[in-house]
Structure 1
C-alpha cells in the first residue's frame, strides 16, 4: 500500500515499511487513546466510524481516563480501557499502563503526559500520533500527522486514515440521530453554560440575547437548555420566561434524549461547549459564539448550516452581533415562506 503523504507528516522507516506492507485483514487489534471531555469525544466519533470501515475485522479498544467518562462512544468500539487518575500505588498504575497488551496499531489522539507514557510502554507494531511538539514524533511515533487549530478537529483526526488512502464519508458520519431540516421543530435552543465559566457570556447577557431574539423571531419557540451539572440551571431566565409565552426552560436531559432533542431543533445558539459539539454531531445548525477558543477548530465548513460569531480583535460579541448572526443563519436555512408552510 502506498503512503499517501508528501510533506504533510512524519514517517520513519518502520512506518513507511508498515504502510507498504499493510493488508487491512491482518490488523486484528487496535488501540485508540483519547483522553478528553464531552465535546472532543463527540468529535472523535467520525474517526471511530471510519476506523471500523477501514479495519472491519479489528478489535478496537478506546483508552481514556477516569475523569472523562461522560459520552464515551461505547457503541463504536469493542472495549474501553480506563486509566484511574486516583490510583496512588505504583503497582496499580503500572498494571493499568500495561493492560493494553501488544496491539497491532496504536493511535494517540490525546497528546497528554499520560497518553505519551502509555504510548511509550505499549509495544504496538506501529504507532501513530499528532503531537504539537514535533520532537515527540521521533521519540514515540512511526507515523506523525500535522495538527491544526484552523480545521475542524473531527476532520483532522481523519488524516490518520487518509495517509493510508482511506476515503472518509462527507458529510462526516457520527452515528448519531440526524437533523432533517424539512421536518425540524420551529425551535431555537440556547445553551448558556461552559466547562470554564469565562468561555460563556454572563447570565444577564444571555437574558438580553434570548429576550431580543424572542421579540424579533416570534415564529420560533425559544428554549434554554439546562446542563447536567447542578449549577447549570435556568432559573436566571425566569423573568424573561414570564414575559414571553414562547420562551421556556428545558430541564436537563440524558445523553440519548438530548441527541434526539437536538436533532429535532432548528438551531442551537451556544458558546464553545460539549453541547454544541453534540449539535454538530447530529448535523443540527449551530450559531457558535467565540472569544477565547480559536473558532476554526470547532467550525465545520463542509455543511452550510454552521455559523460562527467572533471579532478579529477577540472582544466578546455583543447582543446585536449574536442576533444578526442568528437572523442571517435562519434566513439562509429557513426562508420565511418555508417556515410559514411548516
Structure 2
C-alpha cells in the first residue's frame, strides 16, 4: 500500500526515535493489559521458583531481492538474521514479543553483544516491578539455546541477578565423565506433561567439569536419551545415547527445582519456535522494504500485531482453547466472521452473521474484554 510505505519511510528518517516511541507505547499498553488480565497475566504470582520466562532465539528471514544489509546466511540462504525475545505464556497460552533486533544475514548466532542489547530492550518492555530480576529473588528467567552459553552474556546476566537457562556445549571427553557417575545419581526425565519419559535420564555434571571461568553458582545438567532410529550419533554421545546439556543458576531445593523439573523447564524453550512461526504468519516471513531502517519499523509493526493477538486471547479467552490458537486458526475461525456495519445514535455497530459457527465465541470474547476495560483500575 503506497500510504503505508510512505508512512514507514517517513518514520525511518529517524528510526531510533520512532522505534523508541513505539516501544514506549507498547510497554505502557503491556502494563495495562497485564494488570487487567489478573490471574491470566504471565507475571501473576511469579517468584524465583515460578519465574516470568523470556525466551531468546534467532531466526532467518529470506530476502528474494536486494535489500540493505541482506547477506548470505549460515544455512546458505540470503537475507537477514533477526534476534527475537518472547514472554512465554506457559502451556495454557501462547506468548508475546518483547524485543526484535534486526541484523545482517551473516550476523553471528552467539554474539554476546547482540544478546545483551536485545535482553536490555526486552526488560524495558516488562512492567517496572519485573525489570530487575532481584526484585523478588530472580523472578525473571532468560531462556536461550546453546547460542547463549558465552562468558560475556552469562556474566552480564549474573550481574543483573537474572535467572538463566541456556544450552551448554559439553567437552569431547564427556563419555569418560559419564562413566564416573554412579547409577543412583541418574533420575528419569519428564515428558511434556510432567510424567516420567521412558528411555531418558538426567543428572548433574557440575562437580565433574572445570567451571572456574564461569559465573559462580552455575550448574550444568545433562540429559541422555535413546535417539530415534537412523539418527546420526555425535562424538559426545555415550553408549548409543544422545547427550545434551544446559546451564542454569537456579539452585537446588524447593518445589520445581529437582533436576528433572529444571530440564523440562529448559526443554520448553522450544515453544519459542512456535512464537517465531506465528510472527512469520503475522508479517515477519519477508521484509517488504529496501532500507534497513524501514524494515526495522516493519519489525516493530510485526511486534504490535503479535501483541494485539496475544492480548486479545489473554483477555478475551483466558480459559478457552482459543487462547492457544495460532494466527492462521484465529483468522479462519474468528477474524473471518461475516458482519454488516450499521449506524445507530452516532455509533457504528457491527452485526455479526448469526449463522457463522464461531459468532458466539467472537461475542463472548468481546464481552469479556469490554467487562475488563469497564472495571476501575
**Which TM-score bucket, shorter chain as reference?**
under 0.3
Larger radius of gyration: 2
State TM-score, norm by structure 1.
0.26
Instruction: Tell me the TM-score normalised to structure 2 length.
Output: 0.24
Richer in helix (by share)? 2
